[in-house]
């Protein structure tokens, strides 16, 4: 298929169909409403289902039901809507059901605003729901990458029998960029016999598949949590993804940034290079699992004097960056929230000031 | 090389559409492109603007503080954005609605009576296409042939509108000469 010019939200919608997901339940919210707008005409074309739930709480359980029945299913929402879904997401983790959630983040807390934000980082990576539940979280930085991540998210969700979240900011949803899709449609989950509770008749396996997250026996629940933990550890071992940029040479500072923010940082890195200041950049593509080892190693480079976490939040990812760097270098945060996206000029100023400060002069 | 074009005007003037048409044309010519809308709590008749970034390298920041060029379709847009345009850029002023200059001597100011020209070819609503064509003819960011192709594709669902818009495009090109 040739390149087409599409909004991120539309590309996410089309990508889900290309991934073989024919079930979409959602409740509209800015800045991701174009996904629902697109799928309300596109789903019928492929004999898929689009049902608008009466609320995000209901949507989460429509996802739960469809996932339990063994079909590919996804939803999209934005920050306040995701909060409403969080109970259902915890149930999906508990019942080990695969599904894809897309959060096109807007400013918060509360109703906040509708402009781009990255303030749901901690929610997505650490606090999505009650109990020891985790999501595999992917963070696209372009429309093309958003589409690709959606297509990768379904097989990953099935591999781990766990929900996967695509965490984008409002700009990723609203921006138009060229995007290319594969021609073929993917199929149904290949491993659903091990979990789909869709009747015994057409399954090879003769064990019953129960959809449940209730374990009243303390030992059984502990075992269950240990199994889940092992799964999350396996994600950490197998699914870490990141991009490094300008990290070959002797950089004086290292920036860690993701999504739209990382693109602004790249422009700043290029401009600083022209001024003779080398700055490396690591862009996590997965936020959980987090590229801890890569960041630790990059921060420890002899020439590197400081590490900066640049994010559209009041300092969330910086906690993971500090954890990764483990005190080897000073770690600073820079960010804005509420819809204003820091400009390359601001980042350049922050980097210059950081390098000039006593704190980073060793 | 990277160019950034700010399109700005009232909601309803077709600002987002002409931005998309330019982005599409640049994509067809093999450039890296990004179209970034202003999205916010807007109302009908409020301001609408978008930025189109065209480059030969992957596009970094989609947030542009100082665009290379400006297409201003109403007075508030001109007054707001003319001061931030990079020296040497094209500043297109919609003469049909804007009775003032950009106040800049270091830009290529192009005044086009977009609405009057569009009305003369049959429909004042095609003022946006007149403006886009005049801008493209002056800035030469893409070829007129590619632009024409993209206009035809854009209106392929409403073929009755194609001749009007092509005529508007041709008159826009002339206005930039």
Nearest to A175 among B60, B62, B65 (CB): B62
- The DSSP result for A26-60, as a single string, is E---TTSHHHHHHHHHHHHHTT-EEEE-SSHHHHH
Nearest to A176 among B32, B35, B41 (CB): B35
Q: How far is A32 from chain B (nearest CA, A)?
A: 12
Q: Which of B135, B141, B129, B142 is nearest to B108 (CA)?
A: B135
Q: What is the pLDDT of residue A199?
A: 82
In chain A, residues under CATH classification 3.40.50.970 are 4-238
Res. A228 pLDDT band, cuts 50 70 90: very high
Under an 8 A CB cutoff, do B62 and A343 touch?
no
Q: Which residues of B touch A115 (CB under 8 A)?
A: 39-40
- Tell whether the model's pLDDT for residue A185 goes beyond 80: no
- Tell whether the model's pLDDT for residue B11 goes beyond 90: no
Tokens of A251: 């950089």
Q: Distance between CA A222 and CA A81 in Å, rounded?
A: 31
CATH 1.20.1260.10 matches A242-360: no
Nearest CA in chain B to A172: B36
Mean pLDDT within A353-357: 92
Mean pLDDT within A311-321: 97
Location of structure tokens 């009232």: B10
Nearest CA in chain A to B51: A175
Q: Which of A75, A87, A94, A93 is nearest to A214 (CA)?
A: A94
Nearest CA in chain B to A2: B28
Mean pLDDT within B23-27: 98
Interface of A with B (CB under 8 A): 3, 5, 30-31, 114-115, 170-171, 174-178, 260, 263-264, 266-268, 270, 339, 341, 343-345
B105 prior amide bond cis, ω within 30: no
Q: How far is A184 from chain B (nearest CA, A)?
A: 23
Predicted TM-score of the model (pTM): 0.95
Any A CB within 8 A of B40 CB: yes
Q: How far is A127 from chain B (nearest CA, A)?
A: 28
Q: Which of A277, A273, A269, A358 is nearest to A310 (CA)?
A: A269
Q: Between A and B, how many residue pairs show a Cβ–Cβ distance under 8 A? A: 62
Lowest mean pLDDT among A11-15, A132-136, A145-149, A191-195: A191-195
Q: Which of A125, A124, A132, A157 is nearest to A215 (CA)?
A: A132
The full set of domain ranges for chain B reads: 2-175
Q: What is the pLDDT of residue A204?
A: 67
Contact between residue A171 and residue A105 where contact means Cβ atoms under 8 Å apart: no
CATH topology of domain A4-238: Rossmann fold (3.40.50)
Q: What is the pLDDT of residue B174?
A: 97
Nearest CA in chain B to A270: B60
Q: Distance between CA B146 and CA A37 in Å, rounded?
A: 29
**Residue A36 exposed, middle or buried by CB count within 10 Å (0-12, 13-18, 19+):** buried
* pLDDT tens readout for residues B87-97: 999 999 999 99
Nearest to A114 among B23, B40, B63 (CB): B40
Under an 8 A CB cutoff, do A270 and B24 touch?
no
Under an 8 A CB cutoff, do A263 and B33 touch?
no
- Tell whether the model's pLDDT for residue A206 goes beyond 60: yes
Contacts 24+ apart (CB under 8 A), B123-127: B123/B164, B123/B168, B125/B14, B126/B164, B126/B165, B126/B168, B127/B13, B127/B14, B127/B73, B127/B94, B127/B96, B127/B168
Under an 8 A CB cutoff, do A263 and B35 touch?
no
Under an 8 A CB cutoff, do A175 and B34 touch?
yes
> How many other C-beta atoms are found inside a 10 Å radius of the C-beta of residue B86?
15
Res. A358 pLDDT band, cuts 50 70 90: low
In chain A, residues under CATH classification 3.40.50.920 are 242-360
Mean pLDDT within A248-266: 97
Nearest to B36 among A30, A114, A175 (CB): A175
* pLDDT tens readout for residues A78-133: 999 999 999 999 999 999 999 999 999 999 999 999 999 999 999 999 999 999 99
Q: What is the pLDDT of residue A68?
A: 96
| Phi, psi for B32 (deg, rounded to 5) | -80, 135
Under an 8 A CB cutoff, do B27 and A341 touch?
no
Contact between residue A79 and residue A106 where contact means Cβ atoms under 8 Å apart: yes
Q: What is the pLDDT of residue A362?
A: 52
Mean pLDDT within A32-50: 96
Res. A360 pLDDT band, cuts 50 70 90: low
Q: Which residues of A touch B20 (CB under 8 A)?
A: 5, 176
> In the predicted model, what is the mean pLDDT of chain A?
95
Q: How far is A28 from chain B (nearest CA, A)?
A: 16
Contact between residue A173 and residue A8 where contact means Cβ atoms under 8 Å apart: yes
Location of structure tokens 């934000």: A117
Mean pLDDT within B147-154: 98
Q: Kindly state which CATH superfamily the domain B2-175 is placed in.
A: Pyruvate-ferredoxin oxidoreductase, PFOR, domain III (3.40.920.10)
Mean pLDDT within A165-176: 97
Res. B168 pLDDT band, cuts 50 70 90: very high
Contact between residue A126 and residue A154 where contact means Cβ atoms under 8 Å apart: no
* pLDDT tens readout for residues A142-153: 999 999 999 999
Q: How far is A335 from chain B (nearest CA, A)?
A: 15
* pLDDT tens readout for residues B30-88: 999 999 998 766 666 778 899 999 999 999 999 899 999 999 999 999 999 999 999 99
Res. A192 pLDDT band, cuts 50 70 90: confident
Under an 8 A CB cutoff, do A174 and B34 touch?
no
- Tell whether the model's pLDDT for residue A203 goes beyond 80: no
Q: What is the pLDDT of residue A339?
A: 82
HSE-up of B41 (CA within 13 Å, CB side)?
Answer: 5
Its sign, for the CA torsion B173, B154, B128, B82, is negative
Location of structure tokens 């919609």: B94
- Tell whether the model's pLDDT for residue A359 goes beyond 60: no
Nearest to A178 among B27, B60, B61 (CB): B27
- Tell whether the model's pLDDT for residue A219 goes beyond 60: yes
Q: What is the pLDDT of residue B60?
A: 92
Q: Distance between CA A103 and CA A353 in Å, rounded?
A: 34
Q: What is the pLDDT of residue B177?
A: 87
- Tell whether the model's pLDDT for residue A322 goes beyond 70: yes
Res. A65 pLDDT band, cuts 50 70 90: very high
Q: What is the pLDDT of residue A316?
A: 98
Under an 8 A CB cutoff, do B36 and A178 touch?
no
């Amino acid at each position: 298929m040739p390149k087409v010019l599409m909004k991120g939200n539309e590309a996410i919608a089309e990508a889900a169909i290309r991934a073989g997901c024919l079930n979409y339940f959602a409740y509209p919210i800015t800045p991701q409403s174009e996904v629902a707008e697109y799928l309300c005409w596109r789903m019928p074309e492929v004999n898929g289902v689009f049902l608008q739930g009466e609320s995000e709480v209901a949507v989460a359980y429509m996802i739960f039901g469809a996932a339990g029945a063994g079909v590919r299913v996804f939803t999209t929402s934005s920050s306040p809507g995701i909060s409403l879904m969080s109970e259902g997401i915890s149930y999906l983790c508990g019942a080990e059901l695969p599904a894809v959630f897309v959060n096109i983040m807007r400013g918060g807390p509360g109703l906040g605003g509708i402009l781009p934000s990255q303030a749901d980082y901690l929610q997505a990576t650490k606090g999505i729901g009650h109990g020891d539940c985790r999501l595999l979280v992917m963070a696209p930085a372009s429309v093309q990458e958003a589409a690709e991540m959606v297509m990768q998210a379904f097989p990953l969700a099935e591999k781990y029998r766990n929900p996967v979240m695509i965490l984008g900011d409002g700009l990723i949803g609203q921006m138009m960029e060229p995007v290319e899709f594969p021609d073929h449609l993917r199929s149904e989950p290949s491993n659903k016999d091990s979990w789909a509770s869709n009747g015994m008749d057409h399954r090879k396996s003769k064990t019953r598949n129960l959809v449940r997250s209730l374990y009243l026996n303390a030992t059984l629940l502990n075992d269950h949590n240990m199994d889940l933990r092992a799964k999350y550890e396996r994600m950490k071992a197998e699914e870490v993804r990141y991009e490094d940029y300008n990290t070959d040479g002797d950089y004086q500072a290292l920036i860690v940034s993701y999504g739209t923010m990382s693109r602004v940082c790249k422009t700043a890195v290029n401009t600083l290079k022209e001024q003779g200041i080398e700055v490396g950049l690591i862009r996590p593509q997965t936020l959980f699992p987090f590229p801890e080892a890569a960041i630790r190693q990059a921060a420890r480079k002899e020439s590197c004097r400081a590490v900066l976490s640049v994010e559209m939040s009041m300092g969330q990812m910086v906690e993971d960056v500090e954890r990764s760097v483990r005190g080897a270098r000073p770690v600073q945060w820079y960010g804005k929230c509420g819809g204003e996206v820091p400009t390359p000029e601001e980042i350049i100023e922050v980097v210059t000031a950081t390098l000039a400060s006593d704190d980073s002069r060793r | 090389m990277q160019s950034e074009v700010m399109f700005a005007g009232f909601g309803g003037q077709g600002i987002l559409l002409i931005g998309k048409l330019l982005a599409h044309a640049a994509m067809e010519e093999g450039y890296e492109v990004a179209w970034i809308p202003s999205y916010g709590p807007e109302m009908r008749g409020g301001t609408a603007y978008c930025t189109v970034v065209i480059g030969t390298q992957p596009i970094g920041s989609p947030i542009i503080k100082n665009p290379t060029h400006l297409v201003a379709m109403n007075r508030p847009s001109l007054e707001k954005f003319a001061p931030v345009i990079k020296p040497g850029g094209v500043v297109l002023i919609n003469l049909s609605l804007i009775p003032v200059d950009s106040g800049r001597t270091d830009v290529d100011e192009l005044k086009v009576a977009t609405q009057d020209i569009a009305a003369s070819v049959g429909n004042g609503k095609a003022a946006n296409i007149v403006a886009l064509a005049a801008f493209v003819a002056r800035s030469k960011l893409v070829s007129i042939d590619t632009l024409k192709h993209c206009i035809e594709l854009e209106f392929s669902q409403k073929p009755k509108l194609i001749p009007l818009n092509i005529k508007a495009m041709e008159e826009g090109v002339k206005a930039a000469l």
